């Protein structure tokens, strides 16, 4: 299961070429990707001549009305996007897909990830007179494409992709083609599928399953797939590629029923829990998972350690909806209403509570407190990933050291801070071991180790994140 919390994925994308129900399938696919972004959503469709779109703020049903969806019903190709704001202010003009109306032909653009040299490129383009419509880094690609001089769109695109750095899964819709491109490190997931003969791509395989499509394969780092009426063209824009899929996709972001390389996240998380049980040596009466994202790790922990797995914590379903807010104060308040302990289950017990990560520590602290007030005799905490020490520049909404408790405190200090009897993190090696067992060829672990695989050109200072471009 999945969750909304301190760590936020920035986006989910979906695209489909030449299917009679393109818009509706996109809507359904976006719905199953909603966990990847709740701030806004949009769909852009092609009727073969022009592109049309609908988009809005909020969850999918708020962002796109039935009437809007109906207005897109007859188009055969579409891209869609759900958004969580990492860069760019939280306002409608930043909601994707972007739709550029241009004398060269309309162009739709959807981006999952974060560019690390967008500011540099933007500044250069502005020097030459370009005027940007949004404060989003994603718009840069549109400008590069319209500036390009070659008559071949694909060669323009490959040139543009080679100029941008960072993490990206880009979908580009034009009247005569849909293009999907993944950055040369494959930081964000992108899956290829097919339904009724039509090709589609999605951030996660759960979206393919939700619409009844077949999940064919994972798109590779540096790959560029073009879909048009001649079928699919497979190519690469990057000469050098590496596998550096985001570790947190396994640990936390992806839906448990999604699969990477045909292995379900559910089983990966159970294995992370088993690995944690191997590394953590604590006697206890029960092991409980923090719902929803850590239930599988708790199950894995229980099955390896033999300690019974119980549901000792409830999650209030209505909180997430209520308090999705970038406001720190409101987030803290939300913590209190989010989890409820079940007294009968924990009273008098030595409890191991499993969570997938600790960001600021506030939630952990509250959970420990709640369990103790419900009568738990001892509370031990196991984290199914290593300590989060470094900001992510590739699309995750934790960009400052100050927000990461493990960036400036030792494990023992954190243990004291959250007032737990013992605290154990999974080791970095243990984590990579688990991923390898599921055929992963390499992961980005920069948030744990500080080893950033892609250069950070913009050197975005934390405080600058706040200075959002405000337009009228």
Segment 381-420, which members bind a copy of itself (CB under 8 A)? none
DSSP state of 396: B
Q: Which of 13, 23, 60, 198 binds a copy of itself (CB under 8 A)?
A: 60
Which residue lies nearer to a copy of itself by CB, 314 or 461?
314
Min dist CB 186 to a copy of itself, Å, is: 22
Which residue lies nearer to a copy of itself by CB, 98 or 452?
98
Is 11 considered catalytic here? yes
Q: Which of 37, 88, 97, 395 binds a copy of itself (CB under 8 A)?
A: 97
Stretch of residues binding a copy of itself (CB under 8 A), selected from 11-19, 57-65, 382-390, 439-447 = 57-65
Segment 114-153, which members bind a copy of itself (CB under 8 A)? 122-123, 126-133, 135, 142-143, 146-148
- Is residue 52 near a copy of itself by the rule CB under 8 A? yes
Which residue lies nearer to a copy of itself by CB, 123 or 162?
123
Q: Confirm if 57 and 84 have CB atoms less than 8 A apart.
A: no
200 in a labelled binding site: no
List the end-to-end C-alpha distance of the chain, in Å, as a whole number: 40
45 in a labelled binding site: no
Non-local (6+) Cβ contacts of 285 within 8 A are 307, 308, 349, 350, 351
Min dist CB 308 to a copy of itself, Å, is: 9
285 in a labelled binding site: no
Segment 241-260, which members bind a copy of itself (CB under 8 A)? 255-257, 259
- Is residue 67 near a copy of itself by the rule CB under 8 A? no
- Is residue 17 near a copy of itself by the rule CB under 8 A? no
Stretch of residues binding a copy of itself (CB under 8 A), selected from 6-14, 51-59, 160-168, 396-404 = 51-59
Helix, strand, coil percent values for the chain (each to nearest 5): 35, 25, 40
Non-local (6+) Cβ contacts of 197 within 8 A are none
Segment 262-301, which members bind a copy of itself (CB under 8 A)? 263-264, 266-267, 291-292, 295-296, 299
Q: Confirm if 46 and 77 have CB atoms less than 8 A apart.
A: yes
Cα(109)–Cα(199) distance, integer angstroms: 18
Where are the alpha helices (H) located in 280-361, listed in sequence order? 295-305, 317-323, 328-338, 343-346
Q: Which of 8, 18, 26, 32 binds a copy of itself (CB under 8 A)?
A: 32
Q: What angle do CA 106, 109, 110 make, to 5 degrees?
A: 155
Min dist CB 91 to a copy of itself, Å, is: 12
Scanning the structure block, which residue is given the tokens 């033999």? 306
Find, among 113, 110, 114, the residue nearest to 100 by Cα: 110
Q: Which of 15, 166, 341, 395 binds a copy of itself (CB under 8 A)?
A: 341
Min dist CB 411 to a copy of itself, Å, is: 29
Non-local (6+) Cβ contacts of 466 within 8 A are none
373: left (phi over 0), alpha (psi -120 to 50) or beta: alpha
Binding residues for Mg(2+): 293, 355-356
């Amino acid at each position: 299961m999945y969750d909304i919390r301190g760590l936020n994925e920035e986006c989910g994308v979906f695209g489909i070429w030449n299917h009679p129900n393109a818009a509706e399938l996109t809507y359904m696919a976006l719905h199953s990707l909603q966990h990847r972004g709740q701030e806004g959503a949009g769909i852009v469709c092609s009727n073969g001549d022009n592109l049309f779109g609908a988009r809005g703020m909020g969850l999918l049903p708020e962002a796109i009305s039935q009437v809007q969806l109906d207005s897109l019903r007859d188009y055969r190709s579409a891209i869609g996007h759900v958004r969580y704001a990492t860069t760019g202010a939280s306002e409608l003009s930043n909601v994707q897909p972007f739709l550029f109306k241009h004398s060269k032909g309309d162009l739709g653009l959807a981006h999952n990830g974060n560019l690390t040299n967008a500011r540099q490129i933007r500044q250069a383009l502005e020097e030459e007179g370009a005027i940007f419509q949004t404060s989003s880094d994603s718009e840069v690609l549109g400008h590069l494409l319209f500036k390009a001089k070659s008559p071949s769109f694909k060669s323009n695109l490959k040139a543009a992709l080679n100029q941008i750095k960072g993490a990206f899964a880009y979908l580009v819709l034009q009247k005569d083609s849909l293009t999907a491109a993944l950055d040369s490190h494959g930081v964000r997931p992108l899956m290829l599928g097919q339904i009724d003969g039509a090709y589609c791509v999605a951030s996660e395989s759960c979206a393919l399953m939700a619409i009844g499509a077949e999940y064919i394969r994972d798109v590779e780092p540096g790959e560029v797939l073009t879909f048009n009426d001649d079928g699919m063209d497979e190519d690469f824009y990057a000469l050098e590629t590496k596998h550096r899929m985001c570790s947190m996709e396994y640990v936390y972001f992806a839906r448990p029923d999604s699969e990477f390389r045909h292995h379900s996240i559910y089983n990966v998380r159970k294995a992370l829990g088993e690995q944690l049980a191997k590394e953590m040596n604590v006697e206890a009466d029960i092991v409980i998972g923090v719902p929803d994202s850590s239930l599988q790790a708790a199950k894995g922990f229980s099955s390896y350690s033999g300690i019974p797995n119980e549901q000792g914590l409830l999650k209030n379903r209505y909180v997430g909806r209520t308090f999705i807010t970038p406001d720190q104060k409101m987030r803290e308040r939300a913590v209190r209403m989010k989890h409820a302990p079940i007294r009968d289950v924990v009273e008098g017990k030595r409890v191991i509570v499993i969570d997938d990560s600790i960001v600021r520590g506030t939630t952990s602290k509250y959970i420990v407190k709640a369990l103790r007030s419900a009568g738990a005799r001892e509370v031990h905490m196991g984290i199914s990933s290593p300590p989060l020490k470094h900001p992510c520049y590739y699309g995750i909404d934790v960009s400052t050291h100050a927000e990461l408790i493990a960036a400036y405190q030792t494990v023992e200090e954190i243990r004291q801070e959250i007032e737990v009897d013992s605290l154990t993190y999974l080791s970095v090696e243990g984590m990579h071991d688990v991923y390898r067992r599921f055929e992963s060829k390499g992961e980005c672990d920069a948030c744990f180790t500080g080893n950033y695989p892609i250069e950070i050109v913009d050197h975005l200072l934390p405080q600058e994140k706040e200075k959002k471009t405000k337009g009228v």
